Copies of this chain bind each other. A is one copy, B any other.
Amino acid sequence: MGKRILKHAILGLLSKKDMSGYDITGEFKEEIGQFWSAKHSQIYIELKKLLSENLISQYIEMSGEKLERKMHRLTSEGKKELEQWLVVPDETIETEKDVFILKLYFIKHIPKDKVEALFRNQFNIRSAKLAYLREQYQQIFGEQHPLEIDADQLGHYFVLTKAISREESYVKWLEQSLEIIKKREY
């Protein structure tokens, strides 16, 4: 990190439509949250920074009589910044941190029954995630062929298929590994 990813993630989200900080917080709870996310406390601060950098502008929309929604819109500068960032290839890959696998590296110090419990827990969480992602896919793309997907939806398509692929691979590996654990005298 240290590369202002959140800055550009927000610029990207705002390139789709104007949003409030609350909206952006919500986006990170949807599919893109599988690959980047942030808490509202960080988002409001980043929005301020982007305003002071003139990459976005702000206007107020009212929800009812008193409740303000501070909406944000990309400036032409912001759009330029986003487009420049998007085309730069990343030479290195950051560590995709995974505490479960880290723990497994130290399996020697985990009693066999606890290992099985850890595996089952991880299997349940990952399976649930996979089911959710597949449901999302069905709802949005149904039986649509990838070549027929609207250009506006292509980013969404790739994110969803990537997330599904990641979880399928994870679940499959969990099943295979648990089998090994069970079969071994340990």
CB-CB under 8 A from A90, the residues of chain B are 99-100, 121-122
* Docked complex Cα distance between A165 and B91 (Å): 22
* Chain B residues within an 8 Å CB radius of A102: 5, 8-9, 12, 32, 35-36
B-chain residues with CB within 8 Å of residue A82 when the two chains form the complex: 106, 109
Chain B residue nearest in CB terms to A27:
B105
**CB of A67 to closest CB in B, whole Å:** 29
Hey, which chain B residues are within 8 Å of A51, CB to CB?
none
Residue of B35, B91, B114, B122 touching A98 (CB-CB under 8 A): B35
A-B contact pairs, 21 of them (CB 8 A): A5-B97, A12-B109, A32-B102, A34-B96, A36-B97, A83-B110, A86-B109, A87-B117, A89-B118, A89-B121, A89-B122, A90-B99, A90-B100, A91-B125, A96-B96, A96-B166, A105-B156, A105-B158, A107-B155, A161-B173, A165-B169
Per CB-CB distance, the 4 closest pairs between chain A and chain B, nearest first, are: A169-B169, A89-B121, A12-B106, A35-B101
